[in-house]
Structure 1
Amino acid sequence: MDYKKHYFDWAATSPADEDILNEAVKISLENWGNPSGSNTVGKKAKTILEEARSTAAKALGVKPDTIYFTSGGTESNQIPLLAVMSKPLKGTVLISSIEHPAVKAQAEAMKHCGWNVVEIPSNTDGIIEPEAVTSLLTNDTMIVAVMAVNNETGSIQPIYEIADAITKACEGKRRPKFHVDCVQAVGKISIDLNYKGIDSAALSSHKICGPRGIGILYMKDSIEPFLRGGGQEKGIRSGTENVLGAVAFSKCLLRYFNKDNSAQKAKTDEFIEQLSKLPGCTIVPPSRIEKKDLFSPFIVQAAFAHIPGNVMLRSLDAIGFYISTGSACSSKKNSRPVLEAMHVPSEIRETAVRFSFGQHTTPQAIDELYDAILSVTKQFNR
């Protein structure tokens, strides 16, 4: 059975690019030494690792010395947050109310350590407005974290405007670091990591057809790490380097970063229009129908009246269509904090599901998904 054809949970993970993965495995098998070793086999592996770093940097349009390989998006998000804990005095951390658990849970842990953690409210469209950020800035704000694309609704955050607003508000005084979770943005929408107000960003390989267990932390300037070890990755991320993952991720970035998404946008717009005409279907947020450009074409959130999200998921799964009810990292908790932050009514939250697409989702597959949704909704609305 071809599970990939009707797979619509790309925001959770993507099927690996087999050509890239096979090539990376071959390279890794030939260069199996420890990149931190001083012998010949270690030096060969180190050369391959640095070539992967340069390839990733070229794809992202940044300098190689700003690229740090990590274990994934979660670690790439947490390193900048944890770094502020190396400061002698505790201060304030600002995070958006729609952040991924990788950021929210870490911020909660920091709160238990005495840090003042403040959530930036979202508007009902799921957007964090620059004014909402600057209104919460204080003299002791150490870091601000706002994601580029929300993993549940696909809302695109105005990260460049937020970066400018922070810089302007802090003119003449210390400026907090600005961190951006780009996990759902890379390979889906255009991203400029060189933008002057972005200090760090998190990327994850398995969201763009790479292997799991490898990520990238982009960091404009070096930081004092909170976690220490053997000193790999210039001391920012200690631990033996994942050469296979670094090679594969760098090649995926070269193939998919800032890829034109106009065809996907046209198809997603059509899909949303079809859904909006179904009796009992609500696009989340409803404003998306009119404000298409504020959302990634790779994520669609919709609710179906009287059909709990888990029921819709299982009903589609039973006929070979694979979706989710939200973030894979929070689905087991049966909570929808992002939708709560947007003040979405409880009956909508309970019936909302997420459809997410990827680089290999075909227009025909989306048409078949719509037909499957139509079939399921008819069963519950007889």
Structure 2
Amino acid sequence: MERTSSASAGGPTVGVEEEFLLVDPVTGVAVNRADEVVDAARDLFGLELELELTSTQVETNTSVCRDAAQAGLELRELRRAVGRAAREAGCRAIAVGAPPLGDTTGVITDGPRYRRIAREFRALAAQQLICGCHVHVAVPDRETAVQVCNHVRPWLPVLGAITANSPFCRGADTGFASWRTTVWSRWPVSGPPPFFASWQHFQDVCAELLEAGTALDPAMVYWDVRPSARWPTVEVRVADVAASVDDAAFLAAVVRALVAEAVADVRRGVRPVPVPVETLRQACWRAARDGFAGDALDVRSGRLLPLRQQLRLLLAQLKPVLEAHGDLPVVQRGIRLLNRHGCGADRQRRAVRRAGTEALLHLLDLDAGELPLTAGAEEASSPGR
């Protein structure tokens, strides 16, 4: 995100970062072509892509958007540009949480910070080919940001399940809907964050991590929801890169509403539920394994509940905010897609069963991965039902 704003007339502003994997156009194996894709995007579209830790990945960033619909429009254009730039560079850009085929080791991107990460984190760094989606929502100040994270964190399992998009690794089904979550959990500062009493408490814990060397700088505090290290935002990082633009826009709308509601709760003095971090870890692990069609611990009730049911409860809670901010149509479309096609992991498995590797790559390709809505799609999980 290039600039920030605390709010727009219809609610807080939102921005989305997406990471994409570069693969061989025929075999689907990850290739180290990030520099060429960055150059092609700049030459063809004047688009400045971000490099990632390994040269098998590139990252896009929307502007600061007034709502989820604007974010969706920008994401669609960005994905098309990256897809075409990748073709120009002799590879394919795919939207997937983890490499589905071939080796899972990449070349470290040249640069002082990345070289230092490689030295300190060793094989973890070279195997960091996973791709996520990060949603930023503007908040008034840092103290509010910490409390907003406390309010949002009980919903992390649901947010992870709706975007689960990485069932395969080395050509085999892992049995997980989000294998990326399992790979990511190997890093020392990852997964659900602790419950923080204040901004100072957050700062003290981060200082301990830096002293321990398990994070080299504030940007390496990789929790699934955190106050951004760079912007006046809360950043939700739990999601795989989404299977489609509609899925990504749906995530952005839900996160935006969650943060907006949390800001209002903080102002009213509503206290967040202090869910133990270990409880959240269990729920997130189960959600990553089973995806949207499965069950996970509802950390508020302590019961194992279908994630579909948990999402219905969340959207019913958020419906007034979604309506007030104009994001309800985006959410309704996202729900129809989930009910009709499942999450990204479900779609990938169907593609492989239907026609193997080429069908999988076609589904994931940034130019070809969008799904049409079928008329009369089931809407049983729509907000308020």
TM beyond 0.5: no
Q: Which has the higher helix share?
A: 2
Bigger Rg, which one = 1
Which structure has more RCO (C-alpha within 8 Å, separation ≥ 6)? Answer: 1
TM-score, length-normalised on structure 2? Answer: 0.28
